[in-house]
Amino acid sequence: MDDELVEMALVDAREKMDKAVSHTRSEFAGVRTGRASAGLVEHLRVDAYGVDMELRQLASLSVPEARLLVIAPYDRGLLGAIEKALQSSEVGITPSNDGQVIRLGFPPLTEERRRDLVKVVRHKAEEGRVAIRNLRRTTRHELETLEHAGDLSSDELERAERELERLTHEMVAEVDQLLAHKEHELLEI
């Protein structure tokens, strides 16, 4: 019984920490690196058919060149709505509409802008680490509750906490690795 409860708590913690890492990864995808990437706009909300929908549901996104993103709507009637959403977004690039597709040309980033974006991704990485640590604290609290209820011995609690700590370090290291990769991408000319 003890092992099952501990295992369930640790599996639950791993799943939630994996989600925190995935969220951090998706946050990084939304940071512009001077290269075109569908991740920058695919979650952009567009008012289409009277409903707020994500851009990826309304158009195909392709990157034919390193600094060019092409958005081809499935319904040409949505070109105006997509263009309006792009202009009001934080992407910071003026769309070019030719009546068939929308093109986003990405200019090279300045050195100052690159350094600012590094600060942004470091902040997002810290948010990811904090989320992981909060999950560790919640799981530790659950384990201590099991011990106080008599469902877990103090030795089992200690073993489970060591395993939880190992898991936490593993997930934080994964966020750090994602950060290092994104920083390298941003500072690359």
Q: What is the pLDDT along the chain (189 residues), one digit of tens a residue?
A: 567 888 999 999 999 999 999 999 988 887 767 677 777 788 888 888 888 888 888 999 888 888 888 999 998 888 888 888 888 887 777 888 888 899 988 777 788 888 888 898 999 999 999 999 999 999 999 999 988 988 888 888 899 999 999 999 999 999 999 999 999 988 876
Structure-block tokens of residue 104: 């986003």
Contact 100, 172 (CB under 8 A): no
pTM: 0.71
Q: 121-131: buried (b, 16+ CB within 10 Å) or exposed (e) per residue?
A: beebbeebbeb
The DSSP string of 34-89 is: SS--GGGTTT-EEEETTEEEEHHHHEEEEEEETTEEEEEESSGGGHHHHHHHHHTS
Q: What are phi and psi of 7, to 5 degrees?
A: -60, -40
Can you list the domains of the chain with their CATH numbers?
2-30+110-187 (1.10.132.20), 38-105 (3.30.1360.40)
Give the three-class secondary structure for 95.
coil
What is the C-alpha to C-alpha distance for residues 114 and 32, in angstroms, rounded to an integer? 9
